[in-house]
């Protein structure tokens, strides 16, 4: 502790010898999580057994602030308990840089942020932190912000490469998207909030041997929220166009929630999502399946991640009807979310006959308890009841097998120090 304070004081002294008001704080996040996976992300194959493990996120955050300058530096280590020997000299994953950015406020309305940063907006359906994943998600980006009362405009720009090249590479960059530009506008009218998003994402691919091209896909739409006393509702509408791997893109998304607080402790929310897809007998090369791109997809369409978490892309799409029941009392929080999934486009059986659209029902139950401000324990149980149509989409695996998932997690978030 004393060493960290000395480092912090030294840092403040080096940043500026002028008489700016300065603040530096440091905090930790330690998050071990146990998981039992028995049909997680995919139906459990015959003859296979469930697995269990403990993963852990360890983060060290530094936040610096002065009159016009803000900066953040976050180091993290992601590990699975036992992935290295007890006597190891080298960690398997090492220390990664999750965030490293500086922000300068030109005046009360304009600011610019440069560096590795989290980009998240609205309900995180298109841009999210993916905080459930131990590694999270951050971008190397430049973001310019204009903000005044009830209005905010963000303009983002990204240019990615695999290294400092001397000449144009001969092979495609596939580590991530090649380039990105976006504009996000948010405004508030009394009880109504509205956001508008335009996102242009470029991915590089090899069209022919030695011929590299970048195809750009556009995602655009709006997110609306309204809250009045016990009622709240939101609506998201997005479209996608452009090209991907030399194929035309034409897809869309709609999602809505209507919530009502029955008491101060109990709330119910009815929701529906539609993600466009493509009939399996559609022979065109066009991409008609909506892709949430950078969204926190674990928070949507069931916690067992059967859809849009590294899977179900360029497929038949998805309809998700669900009910969220939330109860909060003192330090406790309980959630029960049943989902009913169906395919909005045709799924064909082995004889090319159209199958029933019903994919399955998932039940998600979670509970949380706050021991104190910086210690929270949470746990969850989920089970998928799949259909024959889901079997077909999941490579013929028998849906009659039990498919469930259990997790228990403790999050420690102590503040180490604050220096002013």
Domains of the chain by start residue, with CATH? 2-419 (2.40.160.100)
Note whether 218 and 237 are within 8 A (CB).
Answer: no
CA dihedral 38, 361, 292, 111 (to 10 degrees): -90
For the chain, the helix, strand and coil percentages under 3-state DSSP, each to the nearest 5: 5, 55, 40
Long-range contacts of the stretch 228-232 (C-beta < 8 A, 24+):
228/191, 230/260, 230/261, 230/262, 231/258, 231/259, 231/260, 232/258, 232/259
pTM over 0.85: yes
From first to last of the 420 residues of the chain, give the pLDDT tens digit.
555 555 555 555 554 445 568 999 999 999 999 999 999 999 999 999 999 999 999 999 999 999 999 999 999 999 999 999 999 888 888 999 999 999 999 999 999 999 999 999 999 999 999 999 999 999 999 999 999 999 999 999 999 999 999 999 989 999 999 999 999 999 999 899 999 999 999 999 998 888 899 999 999 999 999 999 999 999 999 999 999 999 999 999 999 999 999 999 999 999 999 999 999 999 999 999 999 999 999 999 999 999 999 999 999 999 999 999 999 999 999 999 999 999 999 999 999 999 999 999 999 999 999 999 999 999 999 999 999 999 999 987 888 899 999 999 999 999 999 998
Bridge partners (DSSP) of residue 234 are 225, 257
Residue 351: how many other CB atoms lie within 10 Å = 5
CA-nearest of 338, 335, 336, 337 to 369 is 335
What's the start-to-end Cα distance of the chain, in Å?
A: 17
Residue 17: how many other CB atoms lie within 10 Å = 7
Using a 10 angstrom Cβ sphere, with 0-12 exposed, 13-18 middle and 19 or more buried, the burial of residue 156 is: buried
């Amino acid at each position: 502790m004393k060493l960290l304070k000395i480092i912090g004081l030294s840092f403040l002294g080096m940043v500026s010898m002028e008489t700016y008001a300065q603040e530096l704080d440091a905090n930790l996040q330690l998050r071990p999580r146990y998981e039992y996976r028995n049909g997680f992300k995919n139906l459990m194959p015959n003859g296979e057994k469930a697995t269990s493990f403990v993963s852990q996120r360890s983060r060290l955050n530094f936040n610096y602030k002065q009159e016009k300058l803000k900066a953040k530096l976050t180091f993290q280590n992601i590990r699975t308990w036992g992935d290295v020997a007890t006597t190891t000299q080298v960690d398997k994953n090492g220390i990664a840089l999750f965030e490293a950015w500086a922000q300068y406020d030109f005046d009360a309305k304009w600011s610019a942020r440069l560096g590795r940063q989290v980009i998240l907006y609205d309900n995180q359906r298109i841009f999210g932190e993916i905080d459930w994943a131990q590694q999270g998600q951050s971008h190397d980006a430049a973001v310019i912000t204009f903000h005044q009362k009830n209005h905010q405009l963000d303009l983002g720009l990204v240019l990615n490469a695999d290294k400092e090249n001397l000449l144009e590479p001969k092979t495609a960059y596939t580590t991530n998207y090649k380039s990105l530009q976006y504009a996000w506008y948010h405004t508030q009218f009394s009880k109504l909030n509205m956001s508008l998003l335009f996102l242009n994402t470029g991915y590089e691919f090899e069209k022919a041997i030695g011929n590299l091209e970048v195809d750009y896909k556009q995602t655009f739409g709006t997110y609306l929220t309204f809250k009045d006393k016990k009622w709240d509702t939101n609506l998201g509408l997005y479209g996608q166009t452009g090209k991907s791997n030399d194929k035309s893109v034409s897809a869309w998304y709609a999602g809505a929630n209507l919530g009502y607080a029955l008491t101060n402790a109990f709330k119910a929310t009815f929701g529906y999502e539609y993600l466009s897809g493509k009939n399996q007998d559609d022979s065109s090369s066009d991409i008609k399946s909506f892709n949430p791109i950078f969204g926190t997809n674990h928070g949507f369409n069931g916690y067992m991640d059967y859809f849009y978490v590294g899977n179900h892309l360029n497929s038949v799409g998805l309809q998700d009807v669900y009910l969220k029941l939330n109860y909060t009392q003192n330090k406790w929080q309980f959630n029960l979310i049943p989902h009913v999934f169906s395919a909005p486009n045709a799924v064909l059986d082995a004889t090319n006959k159209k199958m029933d659209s019903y994919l399955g029902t998932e039940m998600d139950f979670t509970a949380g308890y706050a021991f104190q401000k910086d210690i929270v324990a949470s746990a969850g149980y989920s089970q998928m009841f799949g259909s024959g149509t889901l079997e077909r989409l999941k490579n013929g695996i028998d849906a009659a097998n039990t498919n469930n998932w259990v997790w228990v997690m403790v999050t420690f978030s102590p503040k180490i120090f604050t220096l002013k």
